[in-house]
Structure 1
């Protein structure tokens, strides 16, 4: 039993190593590599691959430049939130992308206005000039300069936080458009079939051993 498991492990390694090597080559070279033949045994053949140049996948155009669809979707979303989702045909995502970026921008404007009001009110109270009066609709309601300063610091922190929220919301909707464009051409249907049958594993340095062959078919 132990030798059989060892034989199965060696067979799996012999099949996986060429695939991993071709995948690593694809990631480093910037091209798509698809293995077409992998065999193991006395009659083992060399792995053959099909290399797809990056230029072949540049089927989209933006401002006269040829680029891939994910690149175009990402650039559109970077220029205008929701444009990449619109390009991908995901209409229902457009309000989400616009709302996320627009909501954080609104929050930034809101806290900036409050910060400006309390900053002017604090300066009017502490500049030593009796002619300057705090006329802010909210800051003037506070009695002491310390209360105005605490509110000023609060609105400053909120304003700075919403700058980060804007960047995060913008980055997320760009990433969503790029990933969605990558997945547009993928078959994600549930029509899968799995077949198994007895098989014989043949290794160059070991005797033939019984095993099981599994075939997963995507339709």
Structure 2
């Protein structure tokens, strides 16, 4: 009887000990969203990498490309912006010159002389006005080109930052090859066979 009581007591104690939480078990780490791992601080705000790259390029053209470590694109960015803005400034300069030249020919004041290096060589006010309108249209067109180049600079930085986080692994393979397809009419029809293969990482 004493032996049976001792066994029951020992069993009861064992149950009491194992009923509580395991002191050696560590708490499971909280799941962290993938998007939060890919955010960085920018001017006190937490933004994603693509957004940061776009903002950098918007503030300073080429800065987004530097952030993405695509240094070889800097000559393209500065070349496109430099050419479009430079041409725009040139057309604006010509437009201003011919505007003053046209005013000197039509203001009715004899003392006013056209001193423009190019407009002064025109034979009549009509010719000056024609050139004036042409340079104004050209200036407006190159302003639009400059805006397009500036926008492409931002878009390029944004896309590059997205591709930077794109996972290119060997888990998938896509293959295509010419093939002959059989149709219900018993005729052979040329086509393309596409196969998607899932690769296993187990070795």
TM-score (norm 2): 0.67
Q: Among 105, 120, 124, which residue is 2:100 paired with?
A: 120
1:67 equivalent in alignment to 2:47:
yes
Partner of 2:133: 153
Partner of 2:56: 76
Residues 120-154 of structure 1: CA deviation (Å, up to 9, x unaligned): 00000000111101110000011111110110000
Q: Tell me the secondary structure at the aligned position of residue 155 of structure 1.
A: helix
Tell me how large the CA RMSD over aligned residues is: 2.7
Q: How big is the shift at 1:64?
A: 2.1
CA distance in 2, matches of 1:218, 1:148: 75
Q: Tell me the secondary structure at the aligned position of residue 60 of structure 1.
A: strand
1:216 equivalent in alignment to 2:191:
no
Q: Tell me the secondary structure at the aligned position of residue 51 of structure 2.
A: helix
Structure 1 145/139 Cα, relative in aligned 2: closer, same or farther at 3 Å?
Answer: same
Structure 1 142/214 Cα, relative in aligned 2: closer, same or farther at 3 Å?
Answer: closer
* Contact 1:85/1:177 (8 A) holds in 2: yes
Structure 1 170/214 Cα, relative in aligned 2: closer, same or farther at 3 Å?
Answer: closer
Structure 1 151/214 Cα, relative in aligned 2: closer, same or farther at 3 Å?
Answer: closer
Q: Following superposition of structure 1 onto structure 2, how do residues 102-113 of structure 1 map, counting pairs within 5 Å?
A: 102-113=82-93
Which sections of structure 2, spanning at least 5 residues, go unmatched? Answer: 1-30, 176-194
* Contact 2:122/2:128 (8 A) holds in 1: yes
Structure 1 96/191 Cα, relative in aligned 2: closer, same or farther at 3 Å?
Answer: farther
Which sections of structure 1, spanning at least 5 residues, go unmatched? Answer: 1-49, 196-212
Query: Greater share of strand residues, 1 or 2?
Result: 1
Residues 146-176 of structure 1: CA deviation (Å, up to 9, x unaligned): 1101100000000111111111000011000
Structure 1 218/167 Cα, relative in aligned 2: closer, same or farther at 3 Å?
Answer: farther
TM-score (norm 1): 0.63
4+ runs of 1 displaced by more than 2 Å?
Answer: 50-54, 187-195, 213-219
